[in-house]
């Protein structure tokens, strides 16, 4: 059974970060996504050596067309493809696609129903629109990075999961599909402006509500879900490994105390934040008395809200991840499986990552590009990769 986006056609202008992640999500859900790759430049250095190989896991599930977009015939190829597509997504700085002659105006002129999805760090406008940045910078400007970590150390980089992928890639994919649904009723496409700054800010909605209510304390590492409380944090065990505890609700907290053998009245007033530092030190000492596996045997699978802190090698072997088939292996590369799950239109990974330009001629033929334009692109330059499948 095809995925839920079967029949949706997407053009991905290849970049790094959130745009390929969004394209991967769409492809995992059954959309036909073609990657417009750059023609490789001989001798050019590559700061991301996995790109263009089987380890480029976010490139899975789609075919690749290599073009030199500085050439007029290559731009004409892209515009022709836009005429057959539902969505185009790109992740360049504002103005780059316009300078290539492939901005929203010519693409929507070729196909008025096209959804033109754009993802940037700071957004398409504003004083920082043209500034460089990365995940950490966008998170910093929202005020949310300030709330992560301990009060005696600088805020730590929380990988690049928040801005790049949660706030950027997922927001772009969500926005693009929303616009496709709207276009089916209105007959009109539109531009989707997905900014990692905006998306990160949106992810902090609950925190802002708590702050307005007066229940979010000033000071990093002092709030319930920010490591301030003794019942919501990570702890070191006797073997140097770690566990996570999230016993917020009273009944879960009561179970935590029972399993830890705590009957000290000092722990009774769970939400007295003035006592949290002392209680945290006490419970940390208790967790140091057993190994991580011993705590797993005692707490795993019940309502204490517990999980061991696994490393990247351990996680695929955990019984819950095994049962959910959360990891798949493609060409000997272990990687996360598509999500979410659908009961009828099951999402599947269509293919391993493609070599840039691997499917160039096949894509052009399948998408109805005129033969003379295909021949022109092949004969006059190396604009289109010669490998096809």
Q: 68, 134, 208, 293: which one is catalytic?
A: 134
DSSP codes, 17-73: THHHHHHHHHHHTT-EEEEEEEPPPTT---S-TTTTSTT-GGGTT-EEEEE-TTSHH
The two three-digit tokens of residue 224, written as one number: 């319930």
Q: 56, 164, 198, 233: which one is catalytic?
A: 164
Cα–Cα distance, 68 to 81 (Å, whole number): 15
* Residue 164: active-site member: yes
Cα–Cα distance, 355 to 6 (Å, whole number): 23
89 within 8 A of 11, measured Cβ to Cβ: yes
381 CB contacts (<8 Å, ≥6 apart)? 68, 71, 73
* Residue 56: active-site member: no
The two three-digit tokens of residue 331, written as one number: 């060409």
- Residue 182 CB neighbours (<10 A): 14
- Region at 19 (left for phi over 0; alpha for psi -120 to 50; beta for the rest): alpha
Calculate the CA 89 to chain-centre distance: 15
What residues form DSSP beta bridges with 11? 34, 88
Q: Hey, which residues are catalytic here?
A: 134, 164
């Amino acid at each position: 059974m095809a995925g839920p986006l079967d029949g949706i056609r997407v053009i991905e202008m290849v970049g790094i970060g959130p745009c390929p992640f969004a394209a991967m999500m769409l492809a995992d859900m059954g959309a036909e996504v073609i990657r417009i790759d750059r023609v490789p430049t001989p001798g050019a250095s590559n700061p991301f050596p996995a790109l263009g190989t089987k380890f480029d896991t976010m490139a899975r599930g789609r075919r690749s067309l290599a073009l030199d977009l500085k050439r007029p015939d290559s731009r004409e190829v892209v515009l022709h493809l836009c005429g057959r597509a539902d969505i185009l997504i790109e992740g360049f700085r504002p103005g780059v696609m316009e300078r290539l002659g492939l901005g929203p105006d010519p693409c929507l002129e070729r196909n008025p129903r096209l959804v033109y999805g754009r993802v940037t760090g700071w957004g398409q406008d504003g004083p920082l629109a043209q500034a460089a940045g990365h995940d950490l910078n966008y998170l910093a400007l929202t005020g949310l990075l300030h709330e992560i970590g301990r009060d005696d150390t600088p805020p730590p980089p929380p990988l690049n999961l928040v801005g790049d992928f949660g706030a950027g890639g997922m927001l772009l994919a969500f926005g693009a599909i929303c616009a496709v649904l709207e276009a089916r009723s209105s007959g009109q496409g539109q531009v989707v402006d997905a900014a990692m700054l905006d998306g990160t800010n949106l992810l902090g909605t609950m925190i802002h509500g708590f702050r307005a209510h007066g229940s979010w304390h000033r000071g990093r590492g002092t709030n319930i879900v920010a490591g301030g409380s003794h019942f919501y944090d990570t702890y070191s065990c006797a073997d140097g490994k770690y566990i996570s505890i999230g016993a917020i609700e009273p009944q879960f907290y009561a179970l935590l105390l029972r399993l830890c053998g705590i009957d000290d009245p000092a722990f009774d007033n769970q939400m007295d934040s003035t006592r949290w530092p002392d209680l945290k030190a006490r419970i940390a000492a208790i967790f140091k008395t057993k190994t991580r596996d011993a705590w797993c045997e005692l707490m795993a699978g019940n309502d204490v809200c517990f999980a061991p802190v696994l490393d990247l090698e351990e996680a695929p072997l955990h019984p819950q991840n095994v049962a959910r088939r959360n990891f798949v292996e493609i060409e000997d590369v272990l990687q996360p499986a598509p999500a979410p799950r659908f009961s009828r239109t099951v999402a599947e990974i269509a293919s391993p990552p493609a070599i840039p330009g691997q499917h160039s001629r096949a894509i052009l033929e399948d998408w109805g590009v005129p033969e003379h334009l295909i021949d022109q692109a092949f004969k006059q330059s190396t604009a289109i990769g010669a490998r096809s499948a």
